[in-house]
Structure 1
Amino acid sequence: MGVHRESEASNLESGYASGASSTGAFPQIIITKPHLKFLNSTLNNLSPMDILRWCKISFPNLYQTTAFGITGLVTLDMLSKLQAETPSAPSIDAIFLDTLYHFQETLDLVEKTRQRYPNVNLHVYKPEGCETTEEFEAKHGQELWKTNADLYDWVAKVEPAQRAYSDLNVAAVLTGRRRSQGAKRESLEIIEIDEAGLIKINPLAAWSFKQVNDYVRENNVPYNELLDRGYKSVGDWHSTEPVGEAEDERSGRWKGQAKTECGIHNKRSKYAQFLMEMEQKRQQEELTSALEKVQASKNEAVVVAV
């Protein structure tokens, strides 16, 4: 994905700066900050289905990003219903990031939803150059989430997401985040715009876990079997645990750690900094290797001279 450059002036005038990008990372959709504020205040009064109807006619290159959590499944069901209402209209495809460390129950659910919603296209993205867990570990080592959590987030989630957005020319995405999930999501808006210019819409932001659960039961939506075993938010098997009744939904993710997000919904500046640090490390390693070769050559010269 190309480097995205932003100007200070464009940041002041609009909700995001993709219009100032020389690379055209995302299709140009300009939303000023006052307009964004107005839209959020208005959309807060609409039902999720009405928000999705509005999104379908408002945003080109709109996709759903989903890890097949319960909220994302409700969104998927609603999108399928909307597509049935207007079959001639463009569909909203879904993007799934397969980290290669999902629970088997999650992977089984992916296949169930493919069968249940054949009118929703699914694009699956995996870590670059890897099709299996074995290939991932051969490339990055075992338990990378322990040895270098930032690198794991980057190669397993952030880079595949950015590759998907670039390949598919994504301008806006629907997410399954809700305010009632806790952690840093209590102040979630319906529409957000990140630093790279990507528009994120959270159609079920105002719904509680009970509302989501009720919808699943009433509409016979397929869901992850792990939810019946005490899980409420399901991610990778190595960083997901069941939660207690008094705990918020995402308390089972990265339990005992300070982190609450995987990186996809964190500020991208953190990952720009991470990439810069990785590049500096690579350059340092190259310099060290070059110096070692020079020293080795000198040692050989000394041996020959003797």
Structure 2
Amino acid sequence: MADDSRTETSSQLSSPGDHGSVDSGFVSPSTSTVSLPRISLTQPHLKHLNKQLESLHPMDILRFCKIFFPNLYQSTAFGLTGLVTVDMLSKLDAESTNPQPIDLIFLDTLYHFNETYELVERVRERYNVKVHVFKPADVATVEEFEKLYGEKLYEMSSELYDWVAKVEPLQRAYAELKVAAVLTGRRRSQGGQRGDIAVIELDDERGVIKINPLANWTFAQVKGYIDEHKVPYNALLDRGYKSVGDWHSTVPVGEGEDERAGRWKGQDKTECGIHNKQSRYAKWLQQQAALKQQAQVQQVQQVQEVQAA
């Protein structure tokens, strides 16, 4: 994707020079590097806010969030819900005498559909919005990624792929941009782990506030807004897709299937990683380290047996 003055790309490693290690970037389960959130909300206060926001229109939720939350960004893969949010934010800026645009964070896994990259450019140009693009560390192309991690990492190690292509870049984005609160495109009607999300959530592991302004909207409401306001959207939606991710893990949705049924079809998986607990990846790292140590011990034992023979 071409970069210009309105697009910022980052590919800094959190641990420079460590990219040859499978566990590069992970934090040991016994090591705490989580900082206190830049916004402090007690659970009673959070519950109160969610109760008040639950019945509001997403525009009103966004209007409130722009006032209440400092260092506010929108993280988006340019799905329909995220596009509605972008359009609503632009309308809020248009009605303000002192517009304060919300920048976008886009995780370029390098495996997005061409239609997605084209959409990013169309949205950036129409709304004149700044897009901060974060790619997997130390790589800029699929060729470089596969040279470093091998072909089809997404099949060989789904957890590692999620970390390298999505989780680590997002955490790097949070750190570099000093994100305090982030708007997401999650909705309850998408099902799975999203079925009971609140409008405002505290990601206490990453130290940020997550805001789901369209949490209680249905797919029909989202699509209706897109059509009514002529919001640009991914061309793949007209070909049977309802949720678009990487090309290797996204297929069209069948008649009567859930909105996200085309994501990781046939796999026991509903999230890409950025909305999973960070501790899940720490646990995964611990397991990988144990397996590696076990293999090393077995190798030493085999050498000793050969020498003793």
Where do 5+ consecutive residues of structure 1 fail to align? 7-20, 300-306
The CA deviation string for residues 190-225 of structure 1, in whole angstroms up to 9 with x for no partner, is 011123132110000111111111111111100000
Q: Is the 1:98–1:124 contact (alpha carbons within 8 Å) kept by the matching residues of 2?
A: yes
Partner of 1:263: 273
Distance 2:253 2:38 in 1: 41
Partner of 1:31: 41
Residues 1:282 and 1:166: Cα distance change in structure 2 (over 3 Å): farther
The CA deviation string for residues 275-302 of structure 1, in whole angstroms up to 9 with x for no partner, is 334455666788899x69x99xxx9xxx
Task: Kindly name which structure, 1 or 2, has the bigger radius of gyration based on alpha carbons.
Answer: 1
Deviation of 1:25 (Å) = 3.6
Partner of 2:214: 204
The counterpart of 2:139, out of the listed 111, 127, 130, is 130
Partner of 1:161: 170
- Equivalent runs, 1:17-28 vs 2, <5 Å: 25=35, 27-28=37-38
The counterpart of 1:112, out of the listed 100, 118, 122, is 122
Partner of 1:55: 65
The CA deviation string for residues 235-263 of structure 1, in whole angstroms up to 9 with x for no partner, is 00010011123111001100011110011
* Aligned positions, number: 280
2:213 paired with 1:178: no
- Equivalent runs, 1:64-83 vs 2, <5 Å: 64-83=74-93
Deviation of 1:274 (Å) = 2.1
Which of structure 1's runs of 4+ aligned residues deviate more than 6 A? 2-6, 282-289
Deviation of 1:28 (Å) = 2.3
State the identity as a percent: 62
Distance 1:198 1:37 in 2: 17
Distance 2:217 2:59 in 1: 12
Residues 1:255 and 1:4: Cα distance change in structure 2 (over 3 Å): closer
Classify the secondary structure of the residue corresponding to 2:105: strand
- Equivalent runs, 1:291-306 vs 2, <5 Å: none
Distance 2:136 2:253 in 1: 28
Distance 1:286 1:199 in 2: 42
Partner of 1:9: none
Classify the secondary structure of the residue corresponding to 1:64: strand
Deviation of 1:107 (Å) = 0.5
2:157 paired with 1:148: yes
Residues 1:287 and 1:71: Cα distance change in structure 2 (over 3 Å): same
Bigger RCO (CA 8 Å, 6+ sep): 2
Residues 1:159 and 1:244: Cα distance change in structure 2 (over 3 Å): same
Classify the secondary structure of the residue corresponding to 2:245: coil
What's the TM-score, normalizing by structure 2?
A: 0.83
The CA deviation string for residues 115-174 of structure 1, in whole angstroms up to 9 with x for no partner, is 1110x2110000001100000000000011111000000000000000000100111110
Q: Is the 1:4–1:25 contact (alpha carbons within 8 Å) kept by the matching residues of 2?
A: no
2:98 paired with 1:88: yes
Q: Is the 2:182–2:211 contact (alpha carbons within 8 Å) kept by the matching residues of 1?
A: yes
Deviation of 1:186 (Å) = 1.4
Deviation of 1:267 (Å) = 1.6
Distance 1:54 1:40 in 2: 12
The counterpart of 1:236, out of the listed 229, 242, 246, is 246
What's the TM-score, normalizing by structure 1?
A: 0.84
Classify the secondary structure of the residue corresponding to 2:260: helix
Where do 5+ consecutive residues of structure 2 fail to align? 1-13, 15-24
Residues 1:5 and 1:88: Cα distance change in structure 2 (over 3 Å): farther
The counterpart of 2:261, out of the listed 251, 254, 264, is 251
Q: Is the 1:26–1:169 contact (alpha carbons within 8 Å) kept by the matching residues of 2?
A: no
Residues 1:276 and 1:209: Cα distance change in structure 2 (over 3 Å): same
Q: Give the residue type in structure 2 aligned to 1:127.
A: P
Residues 1:159 and 1:24: Cα distance change in structure 2 (over 3 Å): closer
Residues 1:111 and 1:285: Cα distance change in structure 2 (over 3 Å): farther
Distance 2:221 2:79 in 1: 14
